[in-house]
Structure 1
Amino acid sequence: MGSSVLDRNCFILCIMLLLSAQSRSQEIVSRATYYKSSDGLGTSSGACGYGEYGRKVNDGRVTGVSKLYKNGSGCGACYRVKCKMPSCCSEDGTIVVVTDHAEGSHTPDFVLTANAYAEMARPNMDTKLLSCGIIGVEYRRIPCLYDANLLLKVHEISKYPAYLAVLLLFVPGSDDITAFQVWQEDSNNWRPMRRAYGAVYDISNPPLGVLTLRFQVTVSADYNYWVQLDNVLPSDWDAGLTYNTGISS
């Protein structure tokens, strides 16, 4: 079943972490603002399709992005964002996870949660920083690191057995997920899945039985590789459930 596919979990993890170590070190100048919520966390209705995960991952330090959304392949990316106001901003900035799309004629690159935005401030300066609204920032992409295994979620829009939609949670590294496929045992080939929206991939009339899937990781315009998830979904998979891939993040 695809002899060129990287299908040994330990080997996969080593490669992902090695690639992640080559994180984007160049800091880019941009702008950021924040959206208000009663608890300072994210939203469960973000464009990436993460649901409640998109609200609480990374302790709610998440962001909507504009051009960095990249038609959904930017979902799940991690960035270190630092504001450029030395009088009230810390050197450390904040680390955020992309969970939403934020677009408009005057939209900054980042629309952070209030908690993440305030975290960029020096001690006791968060109120002053929050009063600024839109601020200048510099950012760089960094590897995502989680104390959790990579999970495959069957999205709530799935309808067993005729329609399957999936997405990945706790994706490590600093590269993009750009394709998904499911193995069709009876025809001995990989069937492509469609990017439905955000981080969600779907397929009508998926194979019956236990399912093996794989996803493509794009490192650069010239290099990508596949990660295979053998027998990751049971024959009676159910909408809304998450399944452990066994790959550590």
Structure 2
Amino acid sequence: MALKLKLLLSLSATLFLMQTPANGATCSNCFVSSRASYYPNSTEQGTETGACGFGSFGAMINGGDVSAASNLYRSGVGCGACYQVRCTNSKYCSDKGVTVVVTDQGSGDNTDFILSQRAYGRMAQTSDAASNIYALGVVDIEYRRVSCSYPNHNITIKIDESSNNPYYLGFVIWYQQGDKDITAVELCETQNYVCKLLDRSYGAVWTTTSPPSGPLSLRMLLSGDDGDETWLVPVNNIPQDWKAGATYDTGVQIS
């Protein structure tokens, strides 16, 4: 009887050890250890020439709490994603850290993030502590994907300055919300609903030659880490006489 009990306990322990790594591997809210630096020659905010193609919007979005990413850039799919980043030196760093938006691509000394100076300093407990982590240049961090939220803004389309109606249309998507990636974009004619899949030119820039005519309905495919995919159709259309450089409010937010 005692031998049988030992065998059962041993089997239970083995099953627990086999299950624990699998559960940990599927944790979508866990922090990941890495390193972060900051733009040494920038102003407090981000850069206007980031690889996502946001332009000046990429420097000021989220109050300037932005970052370049290395592997998390993901060929532009990671543009607009939000991450909670906190440094791990308990002497200088706060538990909350800072939430940043990916607006650029870049890497430093084994870093996943190159933060704006503003965002980098906001990981610290105090302004004096911020001076200390600035002096370090690179700090150990932990990060996790979080939902982007812009309560006072709907998702907005910014038409690229090089666009030429009706021959060429390019745009970026501002105020990307939620915690899913935009992995595909379609433009559809509102009258007969013929749709055209756009190309990701680079970063967050979507383009097409010979765009559909008339007022245009936009469709965005939202993809989650769990494999869930949903097409989002904005309330407002892009007008037929769209202009290069113009912005158009889609009328939707993602909670």
Normalising by the residue count of structure 1, what TM-score does the alignment of the two structures yield? 0.85
1:120 aligns with: 123
Mapped partners of 2:236, 2:121: distance in 1: 43
Mapped partners of 1:89, 1:163: distance in 2: 48
Q: Which has the larger radius of gyration?
A: 2
Is 1:226 aligned with 2:231?
yes
- Counterpart of 2:131 in 1: which secondary structure? helix
1:130 partner letter: Y
Equivalent positions of 1:189-228 (< 5 A) are: 189-220=194-225, 222-228=227-233
- Residues 82 and 93 in structure 1, CA contact (< 8 A), matched pair in contact too: yes
For structure 1, which segment, 168-177 or 222-231, has the greater mean C-alpha deviation from structure 2 after superposition?
222-231
Identity across matched positions, percent = 38
Q: Paired residue for 1:27, among 25, 31, 47?
A: 31
Aligned length: 226
Return the structure number with greater relative CO, CA threshold 8 A, min gap 6.
Answer: 1
Q: Which runs of 5+ in 2 are unaligned?
A: 1-26
Q: Paired residue for 2:51, among 47, 50, 57?
A: 47
- Counterpart of 1:232 in 2: which secondary structure? coil
Deviation at 1:187, TM superposition (A): 6.7
Normalising by the residue count of structure 2, what TM-score does the alignment of the two structures yield? 0.84
Q: Which of the two has greater strand per residue? A: 1
Equivalent positions of 1:1-249 (< 5 A) are: 24-103=28-107, 106-123=109-126, 124-147=128-151, 148-184=153-189, 188-220=193-225, 222-229=227-234, 232-248=237-253
Q: How large is the RMSD of aligned CA atoms in angstroms?
A: 1.8
- Residues 213 and 228 in structure 1, CA contact (< 8 A), matched pair in contact too: yes
Deviation at 1:248, TM superposition (A): 3.1
Mapped partners of 2:141, 2:225: distance in 1: 25
- Residues 82 and 146 in structure 2, CA contact (< 8 A), matched pair in contact too: yes
Q: Which runs of 5+ in 1 are unaligned?
A: 1-22
- Residues 189 and 215 in structure 2, CA contact (< 8 A), matched pair in contact too: no
